[in-house]
Structure 1
Amino acid sequence: MPASRNPVLITGCSSGIGRAAADLLVKAGYTVYATARRPETLADLAAAGAHTLALDVTDEESMTAAVRAVEDTHGHVATLVNNAGYGVYGPIEEVGLDEVRRMFETNVFGLARMTQLVLPGMRAAGAGLIINIGSMGGRVAFPVGGYYHATKYAVEAMSDALRAEVGSFGIDVALVEPGPIRTSFEETINSSAAVGNPDSPYADLVAKVQDVNSGAYDSKLLAADAGAVADVILKAVESSKPRTRYLVTATARGLVHARRLGGDTVWDAIVRRQFS
């Protein structure tokens, strides 16, 4: 266990990837601060040995207080896992922009602000690790998910820029890009307001996307449990030189490489075949 990786602060631990990562890192012996908007949802992680804090990545006072609590005890946050996020789905034409702004506040601006808050302490310590939880959807885009993909494309760009900016201070930046992961994500995107409009000219496309998503998340071959992402997060934390990117699931690796190698023509043909 690299001593420079303790303590670990993780956002969005009430369920899914954040919860699995906090649990695994505690079991591996790390000092973990598991956070959520409602800290009462973290009782089992507290019982397992995690420190729990209230943290809402859309609230400046909440973010500042959480980082200060860790720094008051340990001097600095050694590892930040920017995990908090969610998806809003629907056609570009139909999704309300207020919903899009709220999603950007969590997925992009919350991640950015948490990063800003921990960096001074990391620079002073001469070491640190920031792990951003992105998505294969930050490198490929599917219909009806355009705004969600936009948030994850933003995380890709920010991670690349940040890596170049802070490397000389001894700070590493790693980007984890999961494919389909069996969490509450599918339920969240399928319940998005713009997805359920039967009078929409996109209704048939939306129904097809929902069907394809359900098949992917139900498949043992195409999807994985949150523990698969937690394993990759632990791998990055324990590495003295973390990789810049970690694609999680064979689905993610296959689609990202198909997009990269095939270009627009091949990718558009894949999308047409999948969603026609």
Structure 2
Amino acid sequence: MKKIVLVTGATSGIGKATAIYLAKKGYIVYGAARRVELLEDLTLYGVKPVALDVTIDSSITTCIDIILKQEKRIDILINCAGLGSYGALEDVSIAEAKNQMEINLFGVSRLIQLVLPEMRKNSYGKIVNISSIGGKVGLPLGSWYHASKFAIEGLSDCLRNEVKQFGIDVIVIEPGGTKSEMIQNGTDDLMRVSGKTVYKDLAKAVIKSYTAQKEKAIEAVEIAKLITKSIESKSPKARYAASNAKPFLFIRKLLSDKLFDKLIMSQMK
């Protein structure tokens, strides 16, 4: 029996690559996004478009209801929708901070709440939460983004032990730099928020560092393959780190906070 998959954030980056990759492998895939018109090209691969704005509860419930009405179940939820907004904590408005958390944390949580009843009923389910290397490491001028990803890590740890008894697996994916619109959008956002404040010099240094890292960014399809590996495992690991994230995460484990801070800031010049 083909598995029913819901992939959020399917218009670009990891979400789009994952929806296409899984559809090609024979999964029944629903690609969800706020701008449904941008999902049309995914239909060429058999992906079924569905509207979803993760900041609006009625949109979230309608999305889930549509899929359950058509398929009677959702076997796999892959939470790819995300926002990478940057700026010094002092400069970011609380309204923008709340929007970041709505997209990266509360929208994810609400989707999970709504798919769990059917997964429990079927004694089967895979919930995949896209975190980031930024869910383990905090970088300057990214307070709210990193806060949201650190939260996803903690939420997933708690949830994993809550739902294991029902045959449901919770998996965290930790990409490093990945080729997508998010890098450019994030740097543009950083300059908008902090490019003219007392943090302007640090903002320029951070952007210079991020630009240098672009060359090491991997294709989104590599993360799609990692996600596929995780959901096809009979006993998946709690976390799967991308190849370009592993060295950095290893160094983080070795160094003290003070030494790691020095290493990070040495790259911001």
TM-score of the alignment, normalized to the shorter chain, above 0.5: yes
- Give the 3 Å change call, closer, same or farther, for CA 196–155 of structure 1 in structure 2: closer
Do residues 128 (structure 1) and 115 (structure 2) align?
A: no
Provide the rounded CA distance (Å) in 2 between the counterparts of 1:193 and 1:208: 11
Provide the rounded CA distance (Å) in 2 between the counterparts of 1:199 and 1:87: 20
Do residues 161 (structure 1) and 154 (structure 2) align?
A: no
Q: Residue type of the partner of 2:250? A: H
Q: For residue 74 of structure 1, what is the aligned residue in structure 2?
A: 71
Helix, strand or coil for the counterpart of 2:148? Answer: helix
Q: Residue type of the partner of 1:12? A: G
CA RMSD of aligned residues (A): 1.3
Identity of aligned residues (%): 38
Provide the rounded CA distance (Å) in 1 between the counterparts of 2:180 and 2:66: 29
Aligned partner (choices 17, 32, 35) of residue 35 of structure 1: 32
Q: Residue type of the partner of 2:144? A: Y
Q: For residue 246 of structure 1, what is the aligned residue in structure 2?
A: 240
Which region of structure 1 is more displaced relative to structure 2, 62-71 or 137-146? 62-71
Equivalences, count: 269
Mapped contact 1:92–1:146 kept (Cα < 8 A): yes
Show the 5 A alignment for 1:1-276. 3=1, 6-192=3-189, 195=192, 197-217=194-214, 219=215, 222-250=216-244, 252-276=245-269
Q: Residue type of the partner of 1:55? A: L
Mapped contact 1:86–1:188 kept (Cα < 8 A): no
Mapped contact 1:223–1:249 kept (Cα < 8 A): no
Deviation for aligned residue 1:195: 4.4
Mapped contact 1:80–1:131 kept (Cα < 8 A): yes
Structure-1-length-normalised TM-score: 0.94
Deviation for aligned residue 1:41: 0.7
Helix, strand or coil for the counterpart of 2:127? Answer: strand
Unaligned runs of 5+ in 2: none
1:41-62 CA-partner distances (Å, limit 9, x unpaired)? 1111112111111111111111
Mapped contact 1:89–1:195 kept (Cα < 8 A): no
Mapped contact 2:86–2:193 kept (Cα < 8 A): no
Mapped contact 1:7–1:31 kept (Cα < 8 A): yes
Q: Residue type of the partner of 1:70? A: I
- Give the 3 Å change call, closer, same or farther, for CA 198–23 of structure 1 in structure 2: closer
- Structure 1 consecutive aligned stretches of length 4 or more whose deviation exceeds 3 Å: 193-199
Mapped contact 2:74–2:118 kept (Cα < 8 A): yes
Deviation for aligned residue 1:249: 2.9
Deviation for aligned residue 1:73: 2.4
Unaligned runs of 5+ in 1: none
